[in-house]
Structure 1
Amino acid sequence: MNQPNPAGLDIRGAIDLSGLQRPTPAQERAAAASAAAAAQAAPGVIVDLTPENFQELIESSAQVPVVVAIGASRSATGEQMTPVLERAAVAYQGRFRLARVDADTAPEIAQVFGIQAVPCAIAVIQGQPLPLFQGSPSPEQVAQVLEQVLAAAAEAGVTGSVATGEAPTAPVEPPEPELPPLHRAAYEAIEAGDWDGATAAYTKALNENPADVDAKAGLVQVALMKRLDAVEDAAAVVLAADAAGPTDVAKNLLAADIELAARRSAAAFARLIAVVKATSGEERETARKHLVELFELEDPASEVVKRARRELALALF
């Protein structure tokens, strides 16, 4: 099945509804069941997908997952699938939005999703379609699929819900915890480019609480920024370190700083490990300490840091 991105399409006004025939008994029964389910749901949880609201619904999938139920009123199976999803939408209380569309009356919308057979359901998360199922699954199967949809949405950061009205609401973020006074002073000094003032604030915070890991990392960060502040041509520094080789400790330490600041932590770590291998005594210890300090600025659980720590241990022993 093709999976085009409907968020990039605008099909508003593409459907002429003037030629629709009188509803069949099957259509009337389906409409009555849908109306009953919609009456139980909060406003905006169950909607009819049309060319006019297509773009808005697709865009809303960046905040709350959208499940598109594509049925066909001429199909008995279609009459069974959509009501199951409607009851689920009521039960989930706005954790996803259900958009209904009849492929008989709106074939263009079905074509946008590359549909080959109906009834079927598609999830849309951040504008991306995800085929769910075809036919008429049981309520238990629908519940299982919806849990997978919500899990996938959460991984993509889509965790909003439809509360009232037509627009989904994003979850309320908890307020940022207030910075301790010394950390706030250090941050303000950094903003002003006052490296010495920031160092003094973080040092005082660490003296008051030796377990303050944020102050420890802050000291390393400020020292790095102070060193980089004096660099005029970063590319020239890295090239000079490469030309000098791993025995030139000073040049390689500064080059590693530049690489780390450029988010090339693996290259920075590899450079300093090469210095550790090529030197001895005080020079080797200087390179080792510098590398360990740079570890403080990265996620200790990252594979890059774990690999570099293993390679450092091998280089030392």
Structure 2
Amino acid sequence: MSGAVDLTALKERADAQRQQAQRPNQTPRPAPPTDDGAPASGAAHGGAVLDITEATFETEVLARSQQQLVLVDLWAEWCEPCKQLSPVLEKLAGQAQGSWVLAKVDVDANPRIAQAFRAQSIPMVVAIAQGQPVAAFNGVRSEAEISQWVGEILSQLGDVLPGAAPVDAEPEADDPRMVAAEEKLNAGDFAGALDDYRAIAEAEPQNVEAASAARNLEFVLRAQAHDPAIVDTAAPADVDAQLAAADVLLLAQQPEAAFDRIIAVVKVTAGDDRTRARTRLLELFELFDPAEPFVVSARRKLATALY
């Protein structure tokens, strides 16, 4: 799955946060005990379980994965399946004898990490090797299933991890395809620019810039095609009309109202209609920084509506 996920932005953000937080004569402190006096999870498992933030993701996940397999556990306090899966993962990590470590990520506190992995549901577990995701699964699995899954990954990796080191890449020149697409956009040829961005994104799934440009342009063109009056005339049971109304509201810089429209549809629908509404909402989330308060709030509302 490495071709579909780009972790570069997380690394750059972690570098910036770490530089800002550095102070002279600072020394790392041990993790505090839990409320019941027990050691923190990482200490309890001899460092096999790590609590990860956006600031520590680069060093504790990406850099560590050059030498050791890292399993990233995406979880949240409100997620009941996560509470079933996490203890199993922690137990296995403690028994792994250093062959792999578990990196736990609270998606509510670290939404950019979840966004980077394109997590649409949790729990989600992603295996990272040499700075890239190599396998993943969603939902709860048994201890035996997880052990077999990890064993297969380690077997396939063989001797790839020990001693591996990242290679500094030369600065890349501007992509002439992206330059051509931008020129069409600036000239008002929106359809031509969209075709170009889509073609680049389809040919290179890891090209985040092209995919983002295509998503934004698709949304603007779709929203501009709607009659603004749909906001007031859309029938509550008309899914297409409600989705169109959400587009109009978002184009008018009313993201909270737009998201609430679709969440209301999710609450009263089922089957294909509910899936369509949920998918559209997730697509709209991708137009914004995942740390935006209204995005975080809407994600929580969506989770409540679904579960």
Indicate the TM-score class for this superposition, using the shorter chain for normalisation: 0.3 to 0.5
TM-score (norm 2): 0.41
TM-score (norm 1): 0.40
Q: Whose radius of gyration is greater, 1 or 2?
A: 1
